[in-house]
A and B are shown apart, each in its own frame.
Chain A
Amino acid sequence: MAVAWIGNREAPVEHAAEHAAALLASSRCPVISFDTDIHGTRAAIALAERVGAAYDHLDGKALALEAALFTDKGGMFVAPGEVRRRADVIVVVGELPEVHHGLVAELAETAPDFSSASGRAFFLIGNAETPTLPLGDTRKAILLLCGADLGATLAALRAQCAGRQVAARVENFDRFVGALAAARFPVFLFSSHTAGGLALEMLQGLIADLNNEGRASALHLPVSESGWGAVLASTWMTGFPPRASFARGFPEFDPWRFDVARMLAGREADCHLWISARESLPLPESNGVPLIVLAKTSKPVTGAEVTIAIGEARVDHDAVVYSARTGSLRSVAARSASQQPSAATVLRLIAGHVAAEAPSPC
């Protein structure tokens, strides 16, 4: 089975990697976008340094919002295991990505063993369009609502909790305050899936207020698990989360300048390396910019100058990934090990063909 192509012609992987390296090395503004495991991310960032590229995760827009909560504000957070064991009130902030619905259902089915409560009360901050939570047939979350905007509802909720006057009251506020008064450890579940930056900041303000007298915290359920893994790896490798660039020979962090999608749309980039083995993702289009694709594919990608087939982390090869279920990195064995190379292996191969004084560090 062919595993690499230069244009539409089959080619040995080594030749395809060499061609990809030549394209990257000869470009003036290369960009890399990826959605891969930790070792793939490390190898992509090491390659970005070598060729002076900007890099971003494929879910970069939503991840940039979540990273900004940390880079700009900080806050109070809790580990998922502690939520399961301790949270007696769960407040879901907006709509959560589907990947986290299993955790919500699990929280609905279990009771906190550190609490005398026999179950958990569920609230949902949202609007009429916000989907109901997967709590089973017999339970329903109490909707906290104040207008259509999530940030406005959180602001009103915070103001009312602090005893301040508000122009419009939050629906079901009294039930919320009653639950808080009885709670020992309320937890707010959030992601940037539907919550914007100001909403997340307001949420942290509310949690800070609640901690003046009692305890409360927030569980971060990232919009993309591989994306949050990339945030962690990028931060330890360069000091910065994505969106970063090595265009000037050293890492720079700028969530607007190094938004790879924007750079491609604005024709700033002159070479694009796209990396993902997720078959559910649409493959990229060239749009006139030389394109190198690392994907789980059995045929060349239309418009790509180089296509190299890679295996999927956790399926074709062992992997280290971020797990929102544990809130940390996890080692996962391959479900169905194959000969397909990992993204990290192919990226190291490409890096090996870019002239440098030292071997790639990842």
Chain B
Amino acid sequence: MAEVNLLKVVKRYEEVEAVRGIDLDIADHEFVVLVGPSGCGKSTTLRMIAGLEDISDGEIRIGGDVVNDVPPKDRDIAMVFQNYALYPHMTVAENMSFGLRLKRYPKPEIKARVEEAARILDITELLDRKPKQLSGGQRQRVAMGRAIVRHPKVFLFDEPLSNLDAKLRVQMRTEIKKVHQKVRTTTVYVTHDQVEAMTLADRVVVMNQGRIEQVGSPNELYHKPATRFVASFIGSPAMNFIPCELEESDGRLRVRLTSELSLPVPDSRRARYQSLKSNGRLLLGLRPEHITEMRPHLGPDMVPFEAHIEVTEPMGMETLVYFAINGTQVCGRVNPNAGARENSSMQLAADLGQMHLIDDETGRVI
């Protein structure tokens, strides 16, 4: 097992720069998820770590050794692909042992390792089957088994759950987490699904347009996003962004959303935003769960306001309500029993203790 370091790594395809100089240190045993929209460079980064793509510039280290020119087979890594990439003519056991057989491991050891991996993944009874006799979830397990038997320094996962249906995906997500808890191999995992990223990762790396937007624990990204992109990418439904102005009245700092609606900034945030008053274009960032129905006992930073509900989306455990503030659609999450009705007014409350202010020009969270 080993740590992985990326130093100013660049990938250029003729005219396009797919990865624009990223720095990333992945600790031993760590589970890191690269997440971002398609074309953000996350898969390219993973393939560069695997050695399937050359590096245009910079340096990649695995276990302290620079591997820029080391071929994939000598990097001691294992990769799980989106479409499983199982060898169709081999049985499950042969698939899993292929790498070991190429390296001429003694037969008893190969057998022991395959059986151990099969036990971890609960596929012992499938060992003699061919891939086409397996379901999607089983194939994914075999693909993971093929990685586990090698006892590599690093596991690389390239969107491994994207081909599975929603239910199986949730199940396999838990499986992957369990496997990682058992084998503790350093893991780099690529996905475009922020839920997968949040649930699996020790640390999440949010990428956008070939750059790293933010690196942090799932909680950090959720509660302290560094940029508007991260704030909108993490969390579902996405964070609301409402154009606003800062003003001071009656000795209190307020966020003005419309001519009628201005919300007081909590004292805890006052110091941070004090200097921004003159600044022009700002966005108020507020997650849907921080806009709830009016309750009898509001927290200290909860501010009541009235909204005209346009659309409701009952989800069972909660109801999403959509309304407009100055032409911007805003989403809130209310209790299903709160009586939200379409085309009617409703008393809501915003938790400004959880607010973010975003500079609309730079996209940075202040």
- Same complex for A and B? Answer no
> Which B residues are closer than 8 A to A by beta carbons?
none
> Which A residues are closer than 8 A to B by beta carbons?
none
